[in-house]
Amino acid sequence: MGLFKKLKKAFKKITSKVKKVVKKVVKGVKKVVKKIGSSKILKAIAIAGAAIVTGGAAIGAFTGGTATGFGGWLMNASNTISSGALFGTKASGLAGAAQSAGNFLTKVAAKPFASVGSSVGNIARGVTDFTGLTDAAKKGLVTSDEQAASILSRTGMSESDIAQLTAEGSSALQGAAQTYVDTQGGVGTFTMADVDAARATSSTTVASGVVDGAQSTGLREFGRTVGTRVATNVFTGAAMSAIQGDPELRGTTLPGGGKEGAGVFDPLRIYASENNINVSDIYNQVLYGNADPSSMYGSQLYSQETVGVA
């Protein structure tokens, strides 16, 4: 038997196996959720599976980034990983250093889990509109304060910042959320600095007369303008992203500056050795989920008892 025939046969076997696993999972979920059709459970699993594969970008794409229900909840996990705040940030001293190390790891190491993130999110955003499956006019629009607050809360933006935007009024709050949706496809982090940058761009745009000044007085209008621009230039952006690649990580966020030492990667080594994985190849291991492998040991490692110093 030739190589190609063998490959086709092997792939067929895998397809059957995947189907069997899907069936098994559907049955497993069905045991918990009674009186619900298997097709419905299959749909839920397919949606969750795609969210896991694309790091939340699939949900961002299909909902225009305005997902607030289950999709938004799942994307929140993805964004927590991307923002690298899994270990908290408040501790000081040794614990603080350990947290920094952990967060540094999640920023660097978790990247593969969110790497499809915004690029696919942006590319796929217009997909369903393009194919005529959904209505662009009704999708991806932030329409209420509650929805805006929900979207912003999963971007890593602090509660005080959200409260500040709320105090500024509906237009500021919804505008910020709309900008996040339009510029980042509802995936990744978003800070007040981004909001300020958007405001600055908005004023410049208005001043240069590109957009009708009478209609674009607020951030919300800016968001919509950007939305139109993103829709038309999304593929140029994706192409640029592919050409430029991800920004190279230089230096370190650890106290003391300089290049990070090998010790930073110790927790990852522990996880890898426990799971029989070569640490340098850890992200060659195809693992799926909403968390980084290094975070699985995190809570125990940083909360374990240490030798007290008198």
Partner 1 sequence: MGKPNRQVRPIISDNISEAAGLAVLDGLDAGFDIEDIAPDKGTKIRGEARFSQEGLDELTNLSGQGRPIPGQSLTNSPESAYPWESPPTLTNPREALDVIVAEIMQPEAVKNIVNALANGAAVGDIGSAILYAKFTEGDITPDTMMLLAEPVMYTIMAIGEEANIKYNIEGNDLDEFDEEDEAEEMTNKISEFRTAVSDIKNQTTQKLKPTVDENVVPRNILDRVKEQGPEIRSLLTKGEA
CB 154 within 8 A of CB 67: no
Instruction: Output the smallest distance, CB 202 to partner 1, in A.
Output: 28
Residue 48 or 301 having the CB closest to partner 1: 48
Residue 48 or 97 having the CB closest to partner 1: 48
Kindly state the DSSP code that residue 219 receives in the 8-state scheme.
H
CB 58 within 8 A of CB 65: no
Instruction: Output the smallest distance, CB 54 to partner 1, in A.
Output: 6
CB 98 within 8 A of CB 302: yes
Instruction: Output the smallest distance, CB 308 to partner 1, in A.
Output: 30
CB 168 within 8 A of CB 158: no
3-state secondary structure at position 157: coil
Instruction: Output the smallest distance, CB 141 to partner 1, in A.
Output: 18
CB atoms within 10 A of CB 175: 26
For the record, the structure tokens of 30 come out as 């069905």
Residue 120 or 195 having the CB closest to partner 1: 120
Residue 86 or 206 having the CB closest to partner 1: 86
Residue 76 or 189 having the CB closest to partner 1: 76
Instruction: Output the smallest distance, CB 63 to partner 1, in A.
Output: 10
CB 173 within 8 A of CB 166: yes
Q: What is the chain's Cα-based Rg? A: 22
Cα 66 from Cα 178, distance rounded (Å): 8
